[in-house]
A and B are shown apart, each in its own frame.
Chain A
Amino acid sequence: MIALSGVTKAFDDNRVLQGVDLAVETGRSMVIIGGSGTGKSVLLKCILGLVRPDGGTIALDGQDVARADRDAFLARFGMLFQGAALFDSLPVWQNVAFRLLRGSLARPRDEARAIAIEKLRRVGLGADVADKFPAELSGGMQKRVGLARAIAAEPEIIFFDEPTTGLDPIMAGVINDLIREIVTEMGATAMTITHDMSSVRAIADEVAMLHAGRIQWTGPVADLDHSGDPYVDQFVTGRATGPIEAVR
């Protein structure tokens, strides 16, 4: 279980997170929604220790992550970055198999390559992209390579930062199904950020909405349409008028 309590983070005078409390049960899929720039990406980075929170605690299975052994902690995670963050000096398959080629999970090159090609297939990419370089791919293809890299070592906990932005509706459907499958079949814990309400419904067990530096609402996905929260309602229906200002 991932438990955040009172997490705060500011960049100079930009107070992004102002006391986030959130719990994600093991083997569940949590989707985080919220306006652009509200700090969703920063929140995931805080959990991973890429951004150091100013205050509050983050615990994984009851243990404070700030005091955990970094290597063992990170070995349990996979992360898809919002901008894919592929290594542009390495061909696609070595990006996907990065973890399988070095460190404690290292295995023979042929085997790593075969796994990479299999993962690429699962995100809807053919074996022909394996030897291309990231710069030769379209934005949506890069995103999917990033996704393949995040799941390549079959981590227990996976973070997806906007997995379907930039994808066509069919491909978005494929990715939604994949994320759902990873949670239900492999028993992984997932945290996904998305702005796409059909993705939310396809992926989520639970939904949390981040607004003004706090969790505005959290609950099961079935309650999303009758949350009784004006902020969630405005967000779900996409109205320009409501408690959330359109100019931020």
Chain B
Amino acid sequence: MSERDSLTRALSPLGALGRPVLGALAAVGRVTLFALNALWRALRPPFYPREYALAMLHVGWLSLPVVGLTALFTGGALALQIYSGGARFNAESVVPQIVAIGMVRELGPVLVGLMIAARVTSSIAAEIATMKVTEQIDALTTLSTDPMRYLVAPRVVSALVAVPLLVAVGDVIGIAGGYAVATGNLDFNPATYLNNTADFLQWRDVVSSLAKGCAFGGLAALMGCYFGMNSGRGAQGVGRATKGSVEAAAVLILAANFLLTGAFFSV
């Protein structure tokens, strides 16, 4: 074997690495263009108020039960964990503060975001992909209706608005869950618990929570729409689009969470 061959072979993992990286960059470019396209169209007539109302209903209102339950159990579990963990160094009393910080800064937005990815991203992707494979998207176009404006923009905009609100609700319910466990099982004084929570939280915590909600909601809806609109053919195409959209949304939400946490709280 010549020296050149062995060099090529030694470097080949780099080549293998290069292709997916380029592919990923191209995908980022396509998704960004797609998002800008949708938002640009959302700002210009014709508007479809009924589609916005329906999207708001599905993304926001109908997600309330799952968001509420998720936050409630998480807040309760958090209180139990901090109490038993804190007991190891006599810090049981920090339960209200840590529950508040944990829910508002981190768990509220992340869990709501992931639940939205499970619930909303999947349903958007499956719906739009089915419309695509049954030529309904083509039919929209021939009926002089732009699918980006009629299908994509309402879903993305509703998620941008509704998910921060869901996060706010999740934060409050999560804290309530912690409060219920702490005052019911752990002998905390109700008034002191609430005071400690309110005194401890800063505006920055709340703003970061809502900003994360906005970002995660946007990503979730965007992934659903993008994978749906680019679905392959047939039932298999719909299945792939749905799976891909949820994976992408979940990973992007966790990555964005890391970046936003850094942006808000690193000093």
Contacts and interface: CB of A to CB of B under 8 A. Distances in A.
B196 to A, nearest CB: 49
B236 interface: no
B138 A71 contact: no
Contact of B139 (A75, A81, A102, A105): A81
Nearest to A106: B46
Contact of A98 (B46, B134, B135, B143): B143
Interface in B109-138: 131, 134-136, 138
Nearest to B130: A88
B144 A71 contact: yes
Contacts of A49: 141
A16 interface: no
Interface string B157-192: 000000000000000000000000000000000000
Contacts of B131: 87
A42 to B, nearest CB: 12
A45 B136 CA distance: 13
Interface string A101-125: 0111100000000000000000000
Q: Which bracket fits the contact residues of A?
A: 20 to 34
B57 to A, nearest CB: 13
A99 B140 CA distance: 10
Report which residue of B46, B48, B134, B144 has the largest number of chain A beta carbons within 10 angstroms of its beta carbon.
B144
A6 B135 CA distance: 26
Contact of B141 (A50, A82, A104): A50
Contacts of B139: 79, 81, 85-87
Nearest to B142: A79
Given A102-B46, A102-B48, A103-B46, A83 B134 contact: yes
Q: Which bracket fits the contact residues of B?
A: 10 to 19
B191 to A, nearest CB: 50
Contacts of A83: 134-135
A160 interface: no
A102 B140 CA distance: 12
Contacts, number: 48
Interface in A57-97: 71, 74-75, 77-79, 81-83, 85-88
Contacts of A45: 138
Nearest to B150: A102
Report which residue of A48, A75, A103, A149 has the largest number of chain B beta carbons within 10 angstroms of its beta carbon.
A103
B171 to A, nearest CB: 33
A81 B143 CA distance: 12
A102 B46 CA distance: 8
A87 B140 CA distance: 9
B29 to A, nearest CB: 20
B8 interface: no
Interface in A162-215: none
B144 A75 contact: yes
Contacts of B48: 102
A241 to B, nearest CB: 33
A103 B142 contact: no
Contacts of A104: 144
B144 A50 contact: no
A228 to B, nearest CB: 37
Contacts of A149: 143
Contacts of B140: 87
A74 B140 CA distance: 11
Given A102-B46, A102-B48, A103-B46, A74 B144 contact: yes
A85 B135 contact: yes
A79 B139 CA distance: 8
Contacts of A48: 141-142
B153 to A, nearest CB: 14
Contacts of B143: 74, 98-99, 149
Contacts of A103: 46, 144-145
14 contacts: A48-B141, A50-B142, A78-B142, A79-B142, A81-B138, A82-B135, A85-B135, A85-B136, A86-B136, A86-B139, A99-B144, A102-B46, A103-B145, A104-B144
Given A85-B136, A103-B46, A103-B144, 12 more contacts: A48-B141, A71-B144, A74-B142, A75-B144, A77-B142, A81-B135, A81-B139, A82-B135, A86-B139, A88-B136, A102-B48, A102-B145
Interface of A: 45, 48-50, 71, 74-75, 77-79, 81-83, 85-88, 98-99, 102-105, 149
Interface of B: 46, 48, 131, 134-136, 138-145
